Structure 1
Amino acid sequence: MTARSLSALRRARVIERSNRVRLLALVAVLAGVAVISALSVAIGTREVGLSDILAAFAGRIENTDQAAVAARLPRTVLGLLAGAALGLAGAVMQGVTRNPLADPGILGVNMGASLAVVIGVAWFGIATAQAYIWTAILGAGVAAVFVYAIGSMGRGGATPLKLALAGAASSVAFAALVIAIVLPRNDIAGGIRLWQIGGIGGATFARTAEVVPVLIAGFVLCLLSARRLNALALGDDLAAGLGESVAFARAFAALGAVLLCGATTAICGPIGFLGLVVPHLCRLLVGVDHRWLLPFAALTGAGLLLGADVIGRIIARPAELDVGIVTAFVGAPFFIWVLRHQRVREL
């Protein structure tokens, strides 16, 4: 056997072993999401038994426990969808910008969507779910373009550090504008403040159904961008040399991320840090290949957001902590760790 054939055999064995590990990780993540989903249905301000859970699934609502389970079902579904959307959007944003600090919250995309919704409510009186969704998507898109344009100014173009600084500054500015708009409007202030915390409480299947088509479009665009993101990870010059249109690849993937961020913010409010944490955890499991990373980011994001929601129900009984507060407590220390250990290098 020649040296070349031995080398090819070793590479094949390494790939086979790597795929085996990834499949095991996939099974583990799916099992974890299933367990967390079951806990989300069973745990709340009051715990319920298996008989009441099965009765609620069958559509029989005969007591308070069964009614509680019926209310948790749409909340669980929304948590899974929102977590998958934010986790996937974070992985795509990190791939598009080659920035380990990229996140819908840190880059100002979520707050841009929030500002657009607040302007729509306060100045234009929007009230329907569809109006909220498309207004939030418009705001998320404008914010993403604005932050990227600011981060691209000066020598070196859009470096990770400049993008992070531009996003952080834009987020602060957008938040200040939200406060300035809401303060004189007592008629909308209470609802807007609750929505801005970020949460999935009060979800219904009817409200969630309004956002599902947009989320599906975002999921499809992001997952189809996996090969393009792998090319971009090699650098713009090499990606172009391989025949990839760099501008189109970035725009295609970014559009999917904007749809996911805007739609999720419209229905849940701005939920931060999930898009930062999830891609880093998934790279530890499956590496940097976006064909594996993106699906894992969606699944892991779904599990983490729903898990954070369950924790929020437990630690503040008989009240609840909104999931946006729980993710902030977890995400802020993780952000500091990334800053210290990644040193803001490009991906």
Structure 2
Amino acid sequence: MSEKNLPVKADDGDHGAVEVAEPIADPGLEPHEYRIQDIDPKAADRVERQVATMFTLAGLLSLGACVAYFAIPRDATLVFGPLSGNANNMTLGLTLGLALFLIGAGAIQWAKKLMVDTEVVEYRHDANSSPEQKADIIGGFQEGVAESGFTRRKLIRRSLLGAMGLLGLPAIVLLRDLGPLPGRALYNTIWAKGIRVVNDVTDRPIKPSDLIVGQLVNAAPANLAPLQEESAVEYQNAKAKAAVIVVRIKPSEIRTQAGRENWGVDGILCYSKICTHVGCPISLYEQTTHHVLCPCHQSTFDLADSAKVVFGPAARPLPQLPLAVDSEGYLVAQSGFTEPVGPSFWERG
């Protein structure tokens, strides 16, 4: 150890002398080592062709994903020994995965082999930049663009832009899998005049005597269950729109909206279970306030006051289903919903 870095003894007062080492001198930056691409133009051109090839293959794979989406049947299966899978999904995964990999690998190869790699030192400075510093930043950015060779190496630039542009095509094509546009799908449910209200879990019809004041029950239309045997898709679509909550409140505490005087039965009211914000299912009920809360974004509705919004981002009340009692004493719908159910949307009047 040199004399400059020998420990120095100091007295801390309570524990006697302690050894304090001198700071190590800044070793500085090592001499820069040039790469073969920095010296040999042919080597640099060879790397440029490699990177451009990766970007070009990525673009071709993106096109291949679009072709595969339409050309391969949705029910086709690929078998690899004991393994098997949907041919359409596997082809899309492989082509898009390889396209993204090649773009990433090409970018890494470009950065490591062609971009300037000179070591630099940047000292700490205040967070607020002066006009001179801002000008330096812009200049540094422009210098970085020049050093990257993006403007000078046309082959890399064109192949990268082509690959990135083509990579967006599969995303557009795959939008088809989001399903058909909703159109007027939210305007109608399977609720209709005379349809019984059944418990969502047991499918048993509900009588007014089954409910006590303060109780809330998740319910559904009686004509929903048969759809499950016909088509699982139709069943789920119908259930997503027709789900309701049934609540019993003291009649004296209900503030009835004009025109809805006969929509309840002895304080029993029925509302859509689907939040009018973004469509989350709701049933978190507070008996004392008659408020029901959406767990997604905390929209709160007052069931005693036509399910009006009292808090949160929802823009309109929960749609109410008018109720009546049939000849056997079960709760039934007077009609379907008189307004669209579910989240608010721009086509709704």
Shared fold, TM over 0.5: no
If each structure's strand is expressed as a fraction of its own residues, which one has the higher value? 2
Higher relative contact order, chain-length normalized (CA < 8 Å, sep 6+): 1
- TM (norm. structure 1) is 0.23
If each structure's helix is expressed as a fraction of its own residues, which one has the higher value? 1
